[in-house]
Structure 1
């Protein structure tokens, strides 16, 4: 199965990748996790998104076992948080420069590589999730300084940003940013100006929570009657419609939907074959956008 491609930094990747967060659901079925990732590669996935704090290192371990050099898969990881086993939340903030460096080293070890192709600096300035407090409130310039130093040392290939504001991206552009990961979906389009800036600068837009509904009370694309009507007319699922809208909305969008289920994986990859005509896009564009900028923790 083939899907269209778009640039992520120095190389083109299939516009539908795989987010490894859900691999932790297979923690007690490691063989199934490996099979799932191998199937993703067979389906043409060549962009996998991960982090050391996904499953307390389990996702990275599976990626190290499942992926082979000849697969030529671009593995993108992130720093800014660390695993927190036994905590109220499964991760703790790690925003300080020395913590960012340590997190890069942790990802290098768990992935078994000498260089991380792309590393996203996860800021906490926008979107649903934690907000920094105390010594975790760090100026972006200080963080970019250590990220660019790691790049100069050859430990990082390229730098991305996550949960960043429009002003933050503008400040970071001189450092060379290849992708932005923010919470964004059909029903939560707060970052339209940020998306447009990314498109103009050739920066990949990699939305997380691409169907919304990350936390209770937040809007979900699959709850929209118009989404269900389009899905019925095309004989696809509402989730596929929500993902297909993202691909049609801007050419620099790359998707990283996650799943622990083989059938769901195949349905996600099949989104690349869905065509939405102008009338359908107009119907979906007319759905009201609601903010998802909700702190938790």
Structure 2
């Protein structure tokens, strides 16, 4: 069995299988009510890591989680991300890591999440037009001010992670990674060596895993679903991996979390490990 807990930043233990809130509808109506129910059910089922971002509805996703879960139960880590804003020439979303904007988005997140400190704040993307030292340095200053507990990065290279770690402690990295997409293997290796939480997004390759014969065969042998196999593989891949699969349906949520109990035998692991060799 794989370990079911990991200490983010070395001091905030969470259940390794978390929940990504990105797909939850936030518009008023029945879909929003379902979103509230899904978030609450996740916590009922023992999820202690929930991921959101300013980008998800311009803060609407953060407000939804606060409505569903505040006051938050002890031990629940709600992490959000900043650094993408509607500051493009025509008001479109663009990477924006200017210090003043990062500060403003953190202040907005504190208000929307109804907290005095964000326990894990992640830089959504590195803005190529702003020095990384300015972006990470701003988050470091906000941590010193007590508005952030721990700092994370998203979609970074191993070199960017190394540069950021020379500026301040990094508690997490959130990069795209799954059975069929292992581009960020070097980043995962760096996180593993340093004890940094690695939060893969697009955990099941948006359903493409289930189209692969090798995955469906392993799923059939284990009386599981292809999605569960993909998540179980991630959990077994490295002790620092904290998958955050997202869904807007309670049945899918329950299916995802059941993957934690799935045990992949060595032969299953070998067959699944070879999948990346066939993916270009």
TM-score by length of 1: 0.86
**How do 1:237-256 residues align onto structure 2 when only pairs under 5 Å count?**
237-256=225-244
Instruction: Note the alpha carbon deviations across 1:93-125, whole angstroms, 9 max, x for none.
Output: 22212111111111111111111111111224x
Decide whether the 8 Å contact of 2:26 with 2:64 is kept in 1: no
The answer to which of 64-73 and 264-273 deviates more is: 64-73
Task: State the alpha-carbon separation in 2 of the partners of residues 35 and 261 from structure 1.
Answer: 9
Pairwise CA distance, 1:23: 1.0
> Is the counterpart of residue 207 in structure 1 residue 200 in structure 2?
yes
The answer to which of 3-12 and 137-146 deviates more is: 3-12
Instruction: Note the alpha carbon deviations across 1:42-68, whole angstroms, 9 max, x for none.
Output: 100011101122123222112112213
Pairwise CA distance, 1:260: 0.6
Relative to structure 1, the CA distance from residue 163 to residue 76 in structure 2 (aligned partners, 3 Å threshold; closer, same or farther) is: same
Provide the residue aligned with 1:194 in structure 2. Answer: 187
Task: State the alpha-carbon separation in 1 of the partners of residues 86 and 41 from structure 2.
Answer: 27
Task: State the alpha-carbon separation in 2 of the partners of residues 238 and 69 from structure 1.
Answer: 32
> Is the counterpart of residue 161 in structure 1 residue 153 in structure 2?
yes
Provide the residue aligned with 1:127 in structure 2. Answer: none
Relative to structure 1, the CA distance from residue 56 to residue 143 in structure 2 (aligned partners, 3 Å threshold; closer, same or farther) is: closer
Task: State the alpha-carbon separation in 1 of the partners of residues 179 and 137 from structure 2.
Answer: 34
Pairwise CA distance, 1:276: 0.2
Provide the residue aligned with 1:19 in structure 2. Answer: 20
Task: State the alpha-carbon separation in 1 of the partners of residues 86 and 260 from structure 2.
Answer: 33
> Is the counterpart of residue 82 in structure 1 residue 85 in structure 2?
yes
Relative to structure 1, the CA distance from residue 26 to residue 233 in structure 2 (aligned partners, 3 Å threshold; closer, same or farther) is: farther
Provide the residue aligned with 2:29 in structure 1. Answer: 28
TM-score by length of 2: 0.91
Relative to structure 1, the CA distance from residue 4 to residue 71 in structure 2 (aligned partners, 3 Å threshold; closer, same or farther) is: same
Task: State the alpha-carbon separation in 2 of the partners of residues 247 and 16 from structure 1.
Answer: 8
Pairwise CA distance, 1:71: 4.5
Decide whether the 8 Å contact of 1:221 with 1:239 is kept in 2: yes
Decide whether the 8 Å contact of 1:120 with 1:159 is kept in 2: yes
The answer to which of 56-65 and 111-120 deviates more is: 56-65
**How do 1:60-75 residues align onto structure 2 when only pairs under 5 Å count?**
60-67=62-69, 68-75=71-78
Instruction: Note the alpha carbon deviations across 1:175-231, whole angstroms, 9 max, x for none.
Output: 0000000001111111112111101101001001112249xxxxx322211001001
Unaligned runs of at least 5 residues, structure 1: 125-131, 215-219, 292-297
| Aligned with 1:144 (options 126, 130, 136) | 136
Task: State the alpha-carbon separation in 1 of the partners of residues 4 and 48 from structure 2.
Answer: 12
Relative to structure 1, the CA distance from residue 7 to residue 192 in structure 2 (aligned partners, 3 Å threshold; closer, same or farther) is: same
Task: State the alpha-carbon separation in 1 of the partners of residues 235 and 252 from structure 2.
Answer: 18
Relative to structure 1, the CA distance from residue 81 to residue 110 in structure 2 (aligned partners, 3 Å threshold; closer, same or farther) is: same
Provide the residue aligned with 1:176 in structure 2. Answer: 169
